[in-house]
Structure 1
Amino acid sequence: MKARIVSIEEIRVAGKLVEADSQKGEVDFPGAWKEYFEVLSKTGNLDWGREYFGYSKNYMERDGRTTFDYLISMRIDDYREIPHGFIREIIPGGRYAIYTYRGELNPQRVRRFYDDIYFRWLREDGLTPSRNECFEYYDSRFKEGSEESEYDVWVPVI
């Protein structure tokens, strides 16, 4: 899959942090997203027209253990809008390679997609990740449970 390359300014987001640790088992990411939207609906901040981000950072592999932080979030302009318990974050600006995931979500398929990005497609495109992080970008193309669904994975590159 050929990446689209774009340069962006930083993106201010706020959301719910999920800590992933392979020694603790699979993280229920769909369940975490559901909780996130429940909080937003209670605060009146739920707007399906907005853009949503799954920001992965602090990725580390050591002694067969993989850990990373995953921030389920949305773009914000004013930090006063943040619901209680959410955290603020800035997704760094810069040059990104964008790969589009198509189809229904399932853990094995998503894992294979990420493996293809990092172990095949970036190399085939002559790109190198610049940081140990990435983000998922969800907009109106995402349709939960549908083979017609799409979202983008943005990888910072040099």
Structure 2
Amino acid sequence: MTPRIQALNEKKLLGLHLTMSLADNKTRELWKAFMPRISEIANRLTTDLISMQVYKPTHFADFDPTNEFEKWATVEVASFDDVPAGMETFTLPGGLYAVFDYRGSSNDPRIFQYIFGTWLPNSEYVLDKRPHFELLGNKYKNNDPNSEEEIWIPIRQK
């Protein structure tokens, strides 16, 4: 699977986040809290959902399934005016990304094993220290083998 390399402009995101690890995954809990409130967000730019991970700089160098990170359930907004009570803002910095068009279950870790274990080490890029995210559009179906999403991995030239 070959990604497209894309420069991303800064994005304004609005949503909720939780601190978790792969060993103590709270993704379901996060989205269960966010989805009923999505209609409160007045200035959405698209209907897409964004599942974002904010990792510590050493997360992958010292990888351990108990390493904690922030997981966000968000949407892109035009501005941070009118933030619903209890929701949070996040400015996603722009930069270069490897974008993988993925089809399959979101519970299958093989795509990430391929990205970090095969594609990245053999590419002309290294991981950059910016958030990672998945763009969940209208073809996304949670845990369905026919689900489609875009996986955005922050990169920079070696």
Q: Same fold (TM over 0.5)?
A: yes
* 5+ long unaligned stretches in structure 2: none
What is the identity, as a one-letter code, of the residue corresponding to 2:101? T
Q: Does 1:40 align with 2:38?
A: yes
Tell me which protein shows more helix as a share of its residues.
Answer: 1
Of all paired residues, the percent bearing the same amino acid is 21
State the SS of the aligned residue for 2:116: helix
TM-score for both structures, normalised by structure 1: 0.82
* SS of equivalent residue, structure 1 residue 137: strand
Deviations 1:102-127 (A, max 9, x none): 12232xx1x33222211211123322
Separation (CA, whole Å) in 1 of partners of 2:24 and 2:78: 33
1: distance between equivalents of 2:141 and 2:79?
A: 28
Count of aligned positions: 151
Change in 2 beyond 3 A, CA 1:91/1:119: same
SS at match of 2:125: coil
Instruction: Tell me the alpha carbon deviations over residues 77-136 of structure 1, each in whole angstroms, 9 at most, x when there is no partner.
Output: 121232211111111111110112212232xx1x33222211211123322112153111
SS in 1 for 2:17: strand
Name 1:13's counterpart in structure 2. Answer: 13
Instruction: Decide which moves more: 55-64 or 93-102.
Output: 55-64
1:131 aligns to what?
A: 129
Q: Distance in 2 between matches of 1:77 and 1:46?
A: 6
Change (3 A) 1:113 1:137: same
Measured after TM superposition, the shift of residue 55 of structure 1 is: 1.5
Q: After the TM superposition, which of the residue ranges 27-36 and 147-156 deviates more from structure 2?
A: 27-36
Residues in 1 aligned to 2:143 and 2:3: alpha-carbon distance in whole angstroms: 25
Superposition CA RMSD, Å: 2.4
- For residues 8 and 136 of structure 2, what CA distance do their matches in structure 1 show? 16
Q: Which position in structure 1 is the counterpart of 2:50?
A: 53
CA displacement at 1:143 relative to structure 2 = 2.0
Q: Distance in 1 between matches of 2:152 and 2:140?
A: 15
| TM-score using structure 2 length | 0.82
1:87 matched residue in structure 2: 88
Q: 1:38: how far off?
A: 0.9
Give the match for residue 155 of structure 2. 157
What's the CA shift for 1:32?
1.8
Within 5 A, what are the aligned runs for 1:95-114? Answer: 95-106=96-107, 109=108, 111-114=109-112
